Amino acid sequence: MDLNEFTHITLAVLEDQGTEAYAPTIIAEETLQVIQGIPEGLDHRQALQETVLRLGLEQSEFYFGVRSGPGEITTGFHTQVSTQVQRISELRQGFVVSELEDCAWWTLGQGRDQ
């Protein structure tokens, strides 16, 4: 699987349930982790990164998806060396996927987790 395939799978989920119901998701090797029970007021992006750290995945390869704004899901592929990210934006007529050069809220691999 690559990031485009993961994003396509995420799109299928979004078309079925919408962006508001989307829960942060991590796929590492053969493990699928959907993060449930996020406390009210805790940003899903923060919950995702805290879960990655708790599971000890910061030095691993994994895919992730998370609601990153109203009508917006960020998908990514994280490795020890870099993180590739895409944004899925919900529009009236459907969804649009765009590549992101930088993801300001993604802090794994930037010294904080080392």
Say if residue 95 is exposed, middle or buried (CB neighbours under 10 Å; 0-12, 13-18, 19+): middle
For a pLDDT cut of 70, what percent of the chain falls above it? 95
Per-residue pLDDT band at 112 (split at 50, 70, 90): very low
Per-residue pLDDT band at 30 (split at 50, 70, 90): confident
pLDDT at 65 over 60: yes
| Mean pLDDT of the region 42-55 | 95
Shortest CA distance to 7 belongs to which of 92, 90, 114, 85? Answer: 85
Residues 64 and 7: their CA atoms lie apart, in Å, by 9
pLDDT at 61 over 50: yes
pLDDT at 113 over 50: no
